[in-house]
Structure 1
Amino acid sequence: MSDDLTDDLRVLAESAEQLPPSSGADVRRLAQRRRRRRHTIAALGGTAAVAAVALALVLSLGGSGTGRRDMPATRPTSTLMQQPPPDAEVDLSSRLLKAGGRSMPVSSGFVRTPTPTGRMTVVSRVDVAMVSGAVVGRPRDLRYNVPWVIRLRADDGKTTALFGFATDETVPGVYDMTSGWIGLRTADAKWLYDRLRTGSVVDIEGHAPADPWATPSA
């Protein structure tokens, strides 16, 4: 006996027990509706199963399971923003300027007039400039001509300058007595003046000893 005939007989029996007397056509229509409903439910169940398998596959491929590392969206900022090496470096604590494999003694500012630190850029150069006496540790109202002046400026607006300490060649590397500029021996200042150009970079770090005449740190 076929499944369809069995279903029809069962529907007929149920109709005879539960429903008022109906025609044979009504019974067949009722049986057909029930079969279509069962087929629809089965189809929906199959679709839901396929969707569940697809979702599990996506999660398995896209998740961060064992042995899988998520790649960063961008490179670290430090890698992208590396600064170029400076053309010259000044260490105020040891009273030394280094450039081109050469070390040169310097004199920087008093404790009351410290030399600014940080990364500086050469903004101008002049072979001779008249400055206040305070620049070379003399009375402020006096004026002196100093050679090989290299003016520096930081991004935050701080300024200083490198120059030849022509008024006393014994000061660089021994005393800190300027108003914030960095003095070198005249020959060293000339050598540096010929080497640096506008746009060159100078890094200044450390701080002058509290005692202007103190022996510089190692």
Structure 2
Amino acid sequence: MSDDLTAHELATALHELAMANETQPPVSAAGIRRRAVRRSRRRRTTLALGAGATALALAAFAVSLKTGGTPEHRQPPAATAPRLPSPSPSASPSPSSSFPGPPPTATPTGIAIAGTVNLGKQTLTIDGRVMPITSGFPTLVAAGPLTVVAKLDLGRGSVDQLPEASCKVAEPYAVELRDTNRNSIYVGSLACSARTGSWIGLDPKDAVWLYNRLTPGDTLSAVTPKA
């Protein structure tokens, strides 16, 4: 009996001790339910925000793929060096500017003139050398420039317009000119009979000098006497 009483007393004492040290919950059951509801709402809100952020990230990634790479790895544009103006080339003097000379006379059509045949004064002038016309029958049909078309050696053959039997030649070298109507005029140390053809006679030395000076394509101006 004493042992059972002692056990009963011990259990009672322990129960009283537990009741005395029991801590009451600071929140009632209704408060706990309200907290649970708020926590559930916050959890859903967090999940919704996380899903939205994920969707935005996926959209940005898709846009970066279309534009050729992610913004993080896109290389900045290379800096373009400023274009400097190219230096202007230095003008090198041409032979004509280094050795200036008198410009050639030109006709109104722009043809360079090497000399002048003045039938009024009976002279032929080239490079300042005035050569008297000693004889001739220059039947110029067209006034205007005369063009050198050939250089002839009369000692090796005759010209149709100047029969050998009709002309005396001191030097065989002659120059054929042609007027604007394509009529030929022969210049040299000639002395032909009248109306043999169109020819201009010069002193033999002048005829040789003229032959060596002119080349085909040169042009002489023609001055005819006034009527």
TM over 0.5: no
Q: Which has the higher contact order (CA 8 A, sep 6+)?
A: 1
Q: TM-score by structure 1 length? A: 0.43
The structure having more radius of gyration, on CA atoms, is 2
